[in-house]
Amino acid sequence: MKCPVCTKQNRPGVIVCEYCNNDLYTALLEKVSTKQLDNDRERMLQISKTMPSSNPIVVYIRHAPEPIAISRLGQIIFGREDVDDKTVVPDIDLEPFDAQDLGVSREHIALDAEIHPPTITDLDSYNGTFVNGERLTPQAPYTLTSGDEIRLGRLVIRIFYDG
């Protein structure tokens, strides 16, 4: 990320500028739109009694105009909505980002946003999930580091969070 104060480019995942110590996470939050989850979902998310951070998880989807912010709630499913089959509706619908063409399954990963650090689990996706180039074992939680590159099939996202 480029620092808005000193304009120097920082390494992925850095939340404090390496050059001027400016808070980059706050700058990220100013750019994001907040993802509102549908209240009519059968599976309601439970709010943790002891949340590690009230700051959202920031998700950058490659080629998207702006990142989205996800509240630190329980498990959140990323995938794509199928117009012909409404029985599977992910919490984060990646279909607007060419998800089907890029090999994203209808229920691709689960992000456990409530715990710190957050984890993702591949939900037996057809084209696999990769973190920083390493393929994940399906159904096994993987602990994320802020700035990790996650590939769902061929769709690339980055996840940022603070303490």
Distance (Å, rounded) from C-alpha 139 to C-alpha 1?
Answer: 31
The residue among 163 and 83 whose pLDDT is bigger is 83
Residue 76 contacts by C-beta under 8 Å, 6 or more apart in sequence? 37, 45, 70, 91, 92, 110, 111, 113
Q: Is 159 exposed, middle or buried (0-12, 13-18, 19+ CB in 10 A)?
A: buried
DSSP label of 27: H
Q: What is the dihedral of CA 83, 44, 109, 32, to 10 degrees?
A: 90
Residue 46 has what pLDDT?
Answer: 34
| Tens-place pLDDT, residues 64-107 | 888 888 888 889 999 998 877 778 889 999 999 999 999 999 99
Q: Once rounded to an integer, what is the mean pLDDT over residues 131-135?
A: 96
Residue 83 has what pLDDT?
Answer: 76
* Alpha-carbon distances, residue 16 vs 26, 35, 130 (angstroms): 9, 24, 26
Domains identified in the chain and CATH numbers: 1-31 (no CATH), 33-160 (2.60.200.20)
Give the dihedral sign, CA 19/21/22/24: positive
Q: How confident is the model at residue 44 (pLDDT cuts 50, 70, 90)?
A: very low
Q: Which tokens hold the place of 1? A: 């990320």
